[in-house]
Amino acid sequence: MSPQTQEAARLRARAALRKGLGTALSYALMLLILAFAIFPFLWTLAISITDKQASGISIYDFPRSLFPPAVTLGNFFEVITKLNLGKYFLNSVIITALTVVGTLVVSALAAYPLARLQFPGRALIFGAIVSTLVLPTEIAFIVNVLTLRDLGLLGTYAGVVLPIIATAFGIFLMRQAYLAIPGTLMEAARIDGATELQILWRVMIPLSVPSLTALGIFTLVGTWNAFFWPSVALLTNDDLLPMSVAILKLKGQFNYDVFNVAAGAMIMMIPVLVVFFMAQRFFMRGMEGAVKG
Amino acid sequence: MKQQAFTTTLIAYAFLAPALVLMGLFTFYPVIYGSYLGFTDYTVADLATGEGPKWVGLKNIQFVLGDPLFQTGILNSLKYLLVVPILQIASLAVAVLVNQKLPFMALFRVGYYIPVVTSISLAAVMWEWIFQKEGFLNWSLQLLNVLNSEGRFNWLLNENTALWAIMLVTFWRGFGYYMVLYLAGLQSIPAELEEAATLDGASAWQRFWLIIVPLMRPTLLLCSLLSTIAAIRVLEEIIVFTGGSGGPLNSTYTALLYVYNKSWGNMLNANFGVAGAAGLLIALVGFALSYVNFRLTREERSER
Amino acid sequence: MVKRLLAASALALGLSAFAQTQIEFWTYYLSPNFDNYIKSTIADFEKENPTIKVRWVDKQDTMERDLTAAVALGRAPDVVNLWQDSTFAAAQNKILTPITQLVNRNVLNQLYYPNVLDMFVTEGQVYGLPWYGWLDQGVMMYNPDLLQKAGVDVRTIRNTDDLLAASARIKQATGAYGWLPPVKDPNGASFLGRFFLEGLPIYDKDGKAAFNSPAHVALLQKYVDAMKNDVIPQELLRKEAFQLSNELYSQGKAAIVVGAPTTLNRVKEANPDLYAKTRIVPAPLGKAGIQTGGAMSLVIPSASKNKSAAIRFALFVTNRTNQVKFANVVPIVSTAAGSENDPGLKAKSNDPLEIGKGMNSASGRLINPGFKPPKNTDDVYKNFNDNIEAAFLGRKTAKQALDDAVAFWNANAK
C-alpha cells in the first residue's frame, strides 16, 4: 500500500473513531437526561404493579419501593371496576378527539390569512389573539358556563369542546409554521391559478405537518388531562364526564389508596404516551423537494 | 386591483371567522367582563342574593397594589422568569440531540415527554423525597463536596431555596414540552446547511449557536413568549408543593396565587372584584413582558 | 262502584304524578368507597317516601366551586354535604337557607348533640344538620416495637406534656419521631387550637385577641425548642400533621399517631404488618382535658326548589339509625343524640378498626367545637400562621411573633 493510501486510511479511521466517540457521548448524555426525566414515572409504575397484599414495606421507602417483591395487575382491575371507568374512558376519547380535530381546523384556517394575506385589520386581530395569552381568565369559567346555559349547550359534549378549540397557542403555532414556508411556493401556486383554499390545502398544510402534529399532540395531552373545565361544563350531566375527573375520586380522606392512585395515574398516562410514540415520527418529515421550487 | 384586495379581505375574514366567533364569545367576552368586575364591588354574597356588581372605580386596584401579599406575589413571579432562558436553551439542545438519525431516538423522545404527562401530584411525592434533608439532592451535593452533613436542610422548607426548588420541577416538567416544539421547528432547517458547516470544520457547539439558533428564530419567539407567560402565571406546582399559603415566609407566594385565593380556590368567600383587579394587574405585567420578548427577538433579526 | 274506583285511582295517579319530586344530593369524597352505604340509605328513604326521588352526585375538590356555579346557573342542588368552615362561609355569603326556618330548634336539640349543633349556628340560626363527625384527638395509635425500644411505657403518657417528653426519648433511642402535633396545618390556625387545648384563652373578656400572655409565649417556646431539637419534624410547617404522621407511621419513621381511627384504613393498605401490630389507647389530652373535633353537615341552599323534600331527606340521613350504620362501615363519630348508649357502636372484635370504633364512635357529645372563629378568617389566620412559622424558623422570638399576630388580629378581624 502506498503511503498516501495508508495516510488516508488512518485519517478515515480517526474520523470514524471521533464519530463513534461523539455518538457514544451523545448516548451517554441522553441516557442521563432520560434518567432525570423518568424517575417519578418509574416509581409510579412500580407502585401501580405492586401487590399490596404481599408487601410488608411502605411505598415511601425509597429506593426499595422501586422493586416490589410481588407484582400484580390487580390494582388496575380494581380501579377500573371501582370507578366504572369504561364509560368515562369513552367520554375522554370523544371529547379529546373532537377537541383535537376542532383545534386543528380552527387554527390551520385562522393562521393562514394572518401569515400570508394582506388585509385591513390584520395586525390588530393578531395582536388581540396573542393578547389572550396574558389576559386574566380566572373567572372566565363562570361566565362561559352561563353562556353555555343560554345557548342550551350546558351538559353536552359541544359545550365542553366549543369554548376551548379557538386558542391563541394554536393559531400562533400554525402562523409560525406557515411563515417558515418560502413565499415563492405560494407565488408559484397563485400564478398557476390556485384559489386561497387550494393553496392552504395543497401547499401550506402538507408542508407544516410537523407543526400540525405538535399542535395535535399538545391539544390531545392537554384535553386528556384537563379536569377543571370539563367538570364545570358538565355540572348538570355527569354521565359525560371524562376519565380525568373520575380519577380524582381515588384521593380524599377515606379513599386514599396509593396503589390505586398510581394505577389510575398509569391508566391516564399510558394511552397518551402510546399516541405520542406513534405520532412523533411525523415531527421528522423533511422539506424534500420544497426548496428547489 | 381593488377588486382583488376586496376579495382577499373577504376570504381572509372567512378563514378567520370560526376563530373570531369562538374567541369572541368564550375568551374575549369573559375577559372583558372579568376585567370590568375589577372596578366593581362583587362578592359571592352578591351572586347568591342576585345583586349585581356595584361600580367602585379604582378602589380594588388601589387595594391590591397596596397589599403586601400581592407585592410579594409579583416579586416572586418575576423571580420565576429566571427559569425561561435556561429552559429554552436546554429544550432546544435536547431537541437537537434527539433529532439525530440514530437508532432508538423514538424512545428518547417519548421518554423526555413523559414528565409533561406525569401527574404532578404523584411526581411531587418523589420530588419531595429528593429535596428532603436526607434526600437525593443533598446526597449528591455532599458527594461533590459542595455541602457537608451539618449544612443539610430541606430545600422546600428554607425560604431562600423553596422557590428555586420548585423552579427545578418546572424545568423538569417543561423541557420535554418545548423539545417537541423545537423538534417541529428544526425540520425546516435544511440538512445541507449543517453538513456544509461540518465539512468546513465547525464543532457541534459552533453549529448550535451559529446556525441552528439563528434559523430557529420563529420557534424561539413562540417558545420564549409562551414560557415567559407561563412563568409569570405559575400556579399548579406552587400549590402542589407549598399549598395555598405560599411556602416558608411566603417565599413561594406567586402573583396568581393571590387571585386563586380570592376566587376559585376559595369559592365560598370569593371576592370577584379584588380577583378581577389583581388579574388585570398581572395581565399588564404579562403584556409588558411580551412586548419585551417581541422586541428582543425582532431586533436581533433585523441586525442580521 | 267501578266508576268510583276508577275515579279514585285516577285521582291517586294524578296526585302522585304531581307530587313526584326529584331532589339532588351532593356528598363530599364518599364515592366509590361508600357507594353501597349511600345507595342503600337512599333506597330506604325512597321506600318510605315514594313521592321523592333522590339523585346522588359525589364531589371532590370542586365542591365549593361547583356549588357556587350551580347557584349562579339557577340549578342549585337540594341537599349538600359541607363541613364547618364551608357551612360558615356559605351561610355568611347568603347561599343557605337556615335550617331553623324549616325545623323547630327544639326538635333539633332533641335530635343532635348540642355541642355539635352549635358548630353550625351563625347569628342565632342553625344552618346545617350535623352529620358524621370526628375527634381531633381521637385515639392514640402506636407502634409497640418502637416504644419498647425506647423504653417508654405507654401508660406513663397521660397528657400532651408526657407526649412531648416521650417523643424526645423515642427520637433519641430509635431515630423515629414520636408524636407529630399540628402546629401549622394548611387550613385553620392550628396553634390557636393548641392554646385552646391547654386551657389558655384566645380572647379576653372584651372579645379582643389575647394570646400573647407569658403563658402563651412559654407554650409556643416549648414547641419551638422541640422543633429546633428535631423532636418534632420541620415538615410540620409545610404539611398537615395528621397526613404527615400517617405517612411516617406507615414507614416506621414515627411511632405515634394521635387522631381519628379512620386513619387505620390507610395503614392497613400501606403496611399490613404494621397494622396488625398497632395498639390503640384513648388519646392523651392537653391541660384543658377537652377533645376538639368537627363534623360534616347537610345544608340546604336557598336556591333549592324543593326545600320540604330536601329537609325530610336530610333529617333521614342524619338520624341516629343511619349514623350508627355508617359508623359500622367506617369508624366515624356519630353526632345524633343518644348514640352513647347505642349498642350498634360497641366493639365486636379485636381488630384495630373495631376497637377504634368502640372507643370513638359513641363520643359525639365530647366534641368540643373549639373557639369561635373571627370574621375575615382568611387574612387573619394567614397572618397568624405566618407569625408562628417565623417563630419556628427562628426569624422572630416567640414573644415578638405572638405580639405581632395579636396586633394584626385586632386591627383586621372585623
Q: Round the average pLDDT of chain A to a whole number and report it.
A: 85
Residue C58 contacts A, CB cutoff 8 Å: yes
Write out residues in chain B with pLDDT < 50, as ranges.
300-304
Question: To the nearest whole percent, how much of chain A has pLDDT over 90?
Answer: 34
Of C189, C212, C194, C241, the residue nearest C378 (C-alpha): C189
Query: What does the pLDDT read at residue A71?
Result: 82
Q: Which positions ≥6 away from C95 have C-beta within 8 Å?
A: B44, B48, B268, C67, C68, C71, C301, C302, C303
Query: Which range is least confidently modeled, A18-32, C61-75, C343-357?
Result: C343-357
Chain A residues with CB-CB distance to B125 below 8 A = 40, 43, 60
Residue C266 contacts A, CB cutoff 8 Å: yes
CB B257 within 8 A of CB B246: yes
Q: CA quadruple C370, C376, C382, C384: dihedral positive or negative? A: negative
CB A263 within 8 A of CB A78: yes
B116–A269 C-beta distance less than 8 A = no
Query: Which range is least confidently modeled, B198-212, C88-102, C155-169, C285-299?
Result: B198-212
Query: What does the pLDDT read at residue A293?
Result: 26
Flag whether pLDDT at C99 surpasses 70.
yes
Flag whether pLDDT at A57 surpasses 60.
no
Mean pLDDT (whole number) for A33-51:
87
Q: What is the ipTM of this complex?
A: 0.83
Instruction: Classify each residue of A84-98 as buried b or exposed e, where b means 16 or more C-beta atoms within 10 Å of its C-beta.
Output: ebeebbebbeebbeb
Query: What does the pLDDT read at residue A74?
Result: 87
Query: What does the pLDDT read at residue C4?
Result: 66
Nearest to A137 among B22, B31, B183 (CB): B31
Nearest to B114 among A41, A147, A210 (CB): A41
Query: What does the pLDDT read at residue A254?
Result: 63
Question: To the nearest whole percent, how much of chain C has pLDDT over 70?
Answer: 95
CA B115 vs. chain centroid, Å, equals 15
Q: Burial-class residue A265 by CB neighbours within 10 Å (0-12, 13-18, 19+).
A: buried
- SS3 assignment, position A54: coil
Which of residues C397 and B122 earns the better pLDDT score?
A: C397
* Residue A21: how many other CB atoms lie within 10 Å: 10
Chain C stretch 207-246, residues whose beta carbon is closer than 8 A to a beta carbon of chain B: 234-235, 237-238
CA A225 vs. chain centroid, Å, equals 10
Query: What does the pLDDT read at residue A139?
Result: 80
A251–C60 C-beta distance less than 8 A = yes
Chain A residues with CB-CB distance to C68 below 8 A = 142
Query: What does the pLDDT read at residue A291?
Result: 29
Query: Which range is least confidently modeled, C69-73, C111-115, C267-271, C302-306?
Result: C267-271
Residue of B26, B47, B193, B301 to mutate, interface with A, max A Cβ within 10 Å: B26
CB B180 within 8 A of CB A217: yes
Mean pLDDT (whole number) for A40-44:
86
B18–A133 C-beta distance less than 8 A = no
Put residue C289 in one of left, alpha, beta given phi > 0 → left and psi -120 to 50 → alpha.
left
DSSP state of C336: B
DSSP state of B246: T
A249–C60 C-beta distance less than 8 A = yes
* Rounded Cα distance, A167 and A100, in Å: 12
Flag whether pLDDT at A68 surpasses 80.
no
Q: Model confidence over A76-85: pLDDT tens digits?
A: 998 898 888 8
Q: Model confidence over C348-392: pLDDT tens digits?
A: 888 888 888 888 888 888 888 777 777 777 788 889 999 999 999
- SS3 assignment, position C209: strand
Question: To the nearest whole percent, how much of chain C has pLDDT over 90?
Answer: 49
Chain B residues with CB-CB distance to C237 below 8 A = 157, 248
Of A27, C141, C23, the residue nearest B107 (C-alpha): A27
Residue C382 contacts B, CB cutoff 8 Å: yes
Q: Model confidence over B122-142: pLDDT tens digits?
A: 788 788 888 888 788 888 888
**What is C255-282 written as a DSSP string?**
SEEEE-TTHHHHHHHH-HHHHHH-EEEE
Query: What does the pLDDT read at residue C5?
Result: 62
Flag whether pLDDT at C16 surpasses 60.
no
Query: Which range is least confidently modeled, A155-159, B47-51, C35-39, C131-135?
Result: B47-51
**What is C123-136 written as a DSSP string?**
TTEE--EEEEEEES
Q: Residue A255 — pLDDT band, cuts 50, 70, 90?
A: low
Chain A residues with CB-CB distance to C272 below 8 A = 52-53, 56
Of A280, A146, A164, A151, the residue nearest A226 (C-alpha): A164
Put residue B240 in one of left, alpha, beta given phi > 0 → left and psi -120 to 50 → alpha.
alpha
Query: Which range is least confidently modeled, A62-76, A181-195, C55-69?
Result: A62-76
Query: Which range is least confidently modeled, A150-154, B129-133, B295-299, C308-312?
Result: B295-299
- In chain C, the largest separation of any two C-alpha atoms, in whole Å, equals 91
Residue C29 contacts A, CB cutoff 8 Å: yes
B180–A283 C-beta distance less than 8 A = yes
Query: What does the pLDDT read at residue A219?
Result: 93
DSSP state of C332: P
Q: Residue C10 — pLDDT band, cuts 50, 70, 90?
A: low
Question: To the nearest whole percent, how much of chain A has pLDDT over 70?
Answer: 90
* Residue B297: how many other CB atoms lie within 10 Å: 16
Mean pLDDT (whole number) for C66-83:
93
Angle, CA C219 vertex, CA C235 and CA C221 arms, to 5°: 60
Measure CA of the first residue to CA of the last residue in chain B; give whole Å: 34
Mean pLDDT (whole number) for A209-219:
89
Of C289, C328, C238, the residue nearest B239 (C-alpha): C238
